[in-house]
Amino acid sequence: MSAHGHRITLLERGEAYFPALIAALDAAREEVFFESYIFDPRRAGEAVAHALMRAAERGVAVWLMMDGIGSSRLSQEWQDRLVAAGVRCHVYLPFTPWSIWLPTRWRRLHRKLCVIDGQVGFCGGINVIDDYLDLDDDTPLRNPRFDYAVRVEGRVVPAMRETMRQLWTRVEALQELRAHDLQALRRLWRRTDFEFRPSPRGEVQLVLRDNLRYRRRIEQVYLAAIHRAEDEILIASAYFFPGGRLRRALQAAARRGVKVSLLLQGHSDHWLAYRAARVLFAQLLAAGVQIYEYPFSFMHAKVAVIDRRWATVGSSNLDPLSLLLAREANLVMKDKHFASELAKHLSHAMARSGPAVDPWLFVRRHWSERWRDRLASTIMRLGVWLTGRRY
């Protein structure tokens, strides 16, 4: 659909995302910038890897960056194959046995971005991983992951390209520094503008989170939209443990008559995140927030729609890892047609998920359930404390 100089396509699950992505990669003529938290070249992921290799082999400059924890199981054989084809690969903060004990190493590259020839962009929550593959034990899933991405053309795409280019420049600068090549470092520094230029204010905007000047930007954008809500708030967040500001904003919206509905994980892939989220349910339910738990498979979406005229799709969960530590990227669309389309998808998913969580039954759940939830919440809050950040 068209939105004030942009062409936006909503892509649900990998079954829609990967064919659109591969078609764009196969049409690339000059350059590809690609970032993914998980890069798993099996099944559907293998088709993406081959598309990147084909592009590089025909002379396209291909930059691929993946996270060191999310992609820690990517084999050296596959990395060698990508490099041999001409793909420039970089693993962001490689995993080490000490990573878990160093809060500075929790700052992961969680963005899922791709820009082809500076003209076509992709942004969302979908990793390069087959929808039907459970990475924890390499077993097939009965139902596909629930997730979203968008394909976009228009003025926002150069901003997407620029943020990836700048990250690559920083990586190269650090490599020169480690090699003690100060002359190369000076040359690199002179030709680099390190100030990110946000996308033009308008109907489609790129919103980033990093550990420098945009530490709370995504949270601020959510808060502003929630405070302005008049009728309806729909949020899907795979991992949900928002800080006090966001919780209070959601509760206040529900109390002033806004219909607030959350779609959260019902089939969890991370015990800690799932259990910690449930500690927050009681106060949200008491305020009138409706909570649905997606039971069919892993719910991995990070999207929201407010009043069917504001929407966001991206990589950022509403949890401490996304809002305090990780590099994240969301697109915000102020477009009634796109927002209405996404709202229909979310409303359908909530309806399929069964009745909302019953407040009366929830507060009377078994003591062992409450104990596990409280334990997870305590661990999560301890992790936040260790970061030294206010949440």
50, 90, 117, 259: the catalytic one is 117
Q: How far apart are CA 192 and CA 169, in angstroms?
A: 7
6, 67, 110, 131: the catalytic one is 110
Q: Per the structure block, which two tokens stand in for 116?
A: 């082809």
Determine whether 345 is an active site residue: no
Determine whether 302 is an active site residue: yes
147, 307, 335, 373: the catalytic one is 307
Determine whether 300 is an active site residue: yes
Do 240 and 318 touch, CB atoms closer than 8 A? yes
Sign of CA dihedral 274, 319, 367, 288: negative
6, 302, 334, 345: the catalytic one is 302
Determine whether 130 is an active site residue: no
Cα dist from 31 to 74, 115, 153, 202, whole Å: 23, 8, 16, 26
Q: Per the structure block, which two tokens stand in for 139?
A: 């077993």
The secondary structure of 329-361 as a DSSP string is: EEEEE--HHHHHHHHHHHHHHHHHT-SPPPHHH
Beta bridge partners of 33: 63, 115
Tell me whether strands 259-265 and 232-237 are parallel, antiparallel or unpaired.
parallel
Do 239 and 322 touch, CB atoms closer than 8 A? yes
Q: How far apart are CA 37 and CA 330, in angstroms?
A: 14
Give the E-state strand segments of 253-391 in sequence order. Answer: 259-265, 290-294, 302-306, 310-314, 328-333
* N residues, the chain: 391
6, 40, 67, 112: the catalytic one is 112
40, 131, 269, 300: the catalytic one is 300
In the block, residue with structure tokens 């939830």? 373
- Judged on CB neighbours under 10 Å (0-12, 13-18, 19+), 234 is buried
Q: How far apart are CA 285 and CA 361, in angstroms?
A: 11
The catalytic residue positions are 110, 112, 117, 300, 302, 307
